[in-house]
Structures are given as C-alpha cells and as structure tokens.
C-alpha cells in the first residue's frame, strides 16, 4: 500500500525504472471492493451490489431494509463496526506519518549533500504534496467523518508511478537545461542508495501490516454478508 506509493516516489531519487523498483514489492492478495464511510451514528460499507449500514449497537440495514439478526450476528456486526472505527482512523494517521518521515529524511539528505538551494528540494516538496493528495483520495477524514475509497486505494501503485515519472522527467529536463545533469544524477543516486536502506525495513513492515488489516476487514465483511443470507 503505502510502501508501493513510496517506492514509486523514490524512483526520482534513484533514477531507476519504475518496473525495476516496483517489481521488488510484494502484492497484497486482498483488494477491497467496497467504499467505507465512518460516522458517529453508523458505519457504511457500500459497493454496486450492497449498501450496508451498521450502528454502534450492531443493528444492520442493507439496501434500505432493516435486517432481522440473531444475537450472535448482531454481536459480530457490532464488533466489525468498532474494528473499522479504530483501525481505519489509525491507518490514515500512520500512512501520513510514514510519508512525512520519508519526506523529512530525504529532504535532510538533499540539504546535506546538495545544499539548501538545491532544486531537488522543491521537486521533493512537489512530489510529497502530490503523493499526499493521492493518499487522501484513498482515505481521508473530514469534519469527523472518515472516508475510504477502494478504487483509489487499489490504484496507489499505478497512480504513484505516473506522478513520480512526471516529476523525474521534470528534474531531468531542468538538469539538462542548467548543464548539471551528471552532478544531480550522482547526488540523487547516492541519496537514494544510502537513505532508502534506513527506510526500507520500516516501510516493508508497515506495508505488511496494512495488508493484514485489509485482509482482516475483508474476512469480517464477507463473514457478515454470508450471515445475512
């Protein structure tokens, strides 16, 4: 998830092809097929087939029809909506924190190796802002309501790659224009090699935890949907 997004972003620092870098990431087998909206009074899980609302007490409405539930199923629904409330908010916070951490580390590395006036700093800021916006297309909290959109989430890798390529070509063009392409290439390559080592393990662990979270959510969702029939 986030690791894929950051791998895409780090293309520009390593001057590597997107396919080479991204081939090293492990795909999560579970890909969500529903959006999630978390409000104070209910949790909504919706796709083209089903619109499921679960209240904090575990009452369930599906496609505008209130479902009769056994006590066991209602308890499962109650636990599922509570699980989503806790973990989706945590996922958003952790994702932004990881992105901020990588941005800060690479910004400091650029200052140390290429100076405070390096054009790469502005390129890094641009990349960071675009990746943050991309992340918030997948999950964002506004006015106390958390929104998760499965299609942007599943496309983080592809869309992050496209953004990173665009920024990379901008860097390359500016370097050629100012006749310092080789200096920038050497500096970028060194930064990527050294700093990525310090981030790789943490990001891999985070990525695996998000995959585990999405797998858990999907298992609980599918279990509930089978219980409703």
Give 131 or 3, the one with higher predicted confidence: 131
- Residue 23's pLDDT is 35
CA 160 from chain center: how many Å?
10
Give 211 or 10, the one with higher predicted confidence: 211
Helix (H, G, I), strand (E, B) or coil at 69: coil
Give 194 or 25, the one with higher predicted confidence: 194
Closest CA to 111 of 101, 98, 96, 124: 124
Helix (H, G, I), strand (E, B) or coil at 139: strand
- Which tens digit of pLDDT belongs to each residue from 165-195? 777 777 666 655 444 544 555 666 666 666 6
Closest CA to 84 of 30, 135, 148: 148
CA 197 from chain center: how many Å?
20
User: Which residues, including other chains, have CB under 8 Å from residue 163's CB and lie 6 or more apart?
Assistant: 8, 9, 127, 130, 131, 134
Cα–Cα dist 54/167, whole Å = 42
- Residue 105's pLDDT is 80
Which tokens belong to 218? Answer: 């999907």
- Which tens digit of pLDDT belongs to each residue from 40-79? 999 999 999 999 999 999 999 999 999 999 999 999 999 9
Residues in the chain: 229
pTM value?
A: 0.81
Instruction: Name beta bridge partners: 162.
Output: none
Q: Which of 25-34, 91-100, 143-152, 201-210 has the highest mean pLDDT?
A: 143-152
User: What distance, in Å, lies between the first and last C-alpha atoms of the chain?
Assistant: 32
Closest CA to 224 of 104, 88, 52: 52
**Mean pLDDT, all residues of the chain:** 80
- Residue 180's pLDDT is 52
């Amino acid at each position: 998830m986030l690791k894929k997004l950051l791998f895409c972003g780090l293309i520009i620092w390593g001057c590597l092809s997107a396919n080479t870098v991204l081939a090293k990431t492990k795909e999560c087998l579970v890909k969500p097929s529903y959006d999630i909206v978390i409000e104070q009074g209910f949790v909504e899980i919706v796709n083209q087939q089903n619109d499921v609302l679960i209240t904090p007490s575990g009452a369930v409405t599906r496609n505008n029809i209130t479902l009769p539930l056994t006590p066991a199923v209602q308890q499962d629904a109650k636990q599922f909506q509570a699980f989503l409330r806790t973990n989706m908010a945590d996922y958003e916070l952790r994702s932004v924190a990881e992105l901020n951490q990588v941005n800060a580390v690479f910004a400091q590395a650029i200052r140390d190796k290429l100076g405070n006036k390096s054009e790469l700093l502005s390129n890094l800021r641009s990349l960071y802002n675009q990746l943050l916006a991309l992340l918030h297309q997948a999950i964002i909290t506004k006015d106390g309501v958390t929104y998760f959109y499965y299609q942007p989430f599943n496309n983080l890798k592809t869309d992050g790659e496209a953004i990173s390529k665009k920024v990379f070509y901008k860097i390359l063009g500016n370097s050629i224009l100012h006749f310092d392409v080789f200096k920038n290439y050497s500096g970028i390559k060194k930064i990527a090699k050294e700093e990525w080592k310090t981030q790789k393990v943490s990001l891999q662990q985070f990525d695996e935890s998000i995959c585990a979270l999405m797998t858990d959510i999907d298992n609980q969702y599918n279990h509930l949907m089978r219980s409703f029939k």
